[in-house]
Amino acid sequence: MSIQLGDNAPNFKAITTEGEIDFHEWSGDSWIILMSHPGDFTPVCTTELGRAASLSEEFKRRNAKTIAISVDGVDSHSAWIGDINETQNTKVNFPLIADPSREIATLYDMIHPNADNTNTVRTLFIIGPDKKVKLSLAYPPSTGRNFQEILRVLDSLQLTAHYQVATPADWNHGEDCVVIPAIKTEDISTKFPKGYTEIKPYLRTTPQPNI
């Protein structure tokens, strides 16, 4: 199956480095960052999991949990975590899912037949508290993920889930937002009392409404 934005994130049960979980139960009402990795003891992924661990307070502040998956087993995962903690000067504090049968990887369409091998490709999903897929990114093995971008997108998703705005190119938390086209110009002042700027009739901006 192919996972599309807006789809329900498939549920699964799995063995992880923190015990057995039911994914939806474990997720609760949090936002979820689900990262796949081709296998343990891979150099780029070692830096990525270390970086995710070092940002744990940033994710917590955004009511977000991180979880990773690879095709190796729990014993291998646990040994890899030791290396990650040592080399990245951090402490991995989120579960790593064991998926030796590739059932979960297949469920989430993480195996691409035209990739260089049949291991999981490096896909990242952001899943909302409503269990729907909000973002999907696939990275090549040679390029590490940009976690500042992941935090930026998470900020945008959480903002736009509650306010009738969109975020423009290169937007960062605290900057002006775009008023969505569905709102008539004459209604903007009521909905966004901080004011607005009309650049074009279809391009209206307003200060970020939730700060």
Catalytic residues: 45
Q: Which ranges in 28-96 belong to alpha helices (H)?
A: 43-54, 56-61, 74-88
Q: Which amino acid is at 143?
A: T
Q: Which amino acid is at 197?
A: T
**Other Cβ atoms closer than 10 A to 52:** 25
What the block records as the tokens of 198 is 């009309």
Query: Which long-range contacts link 152-157 to residues 24+ away (Cβ below 8 Å)?
Result: 153/126, 154/31, 154/33, 154/62, 154/64, 154/126, 155/62, 157/31, 157/126, 157/128
Distance between CA 204 and CA 188 in Å, rounded? 9
Q: Which residues of 139-169 are buried (b: 16+ CB within 10 A; e: fewer)?
A: bebeeebebeebbbbbbbbbbbeebbbebee
Query: In the chain, how long is the greatest CA-to-CA distance?
Result: 61
Distance between CA 45 and CA 164 in Å, rounded? 36
What the block records as the tokens of 71 is 């095709």
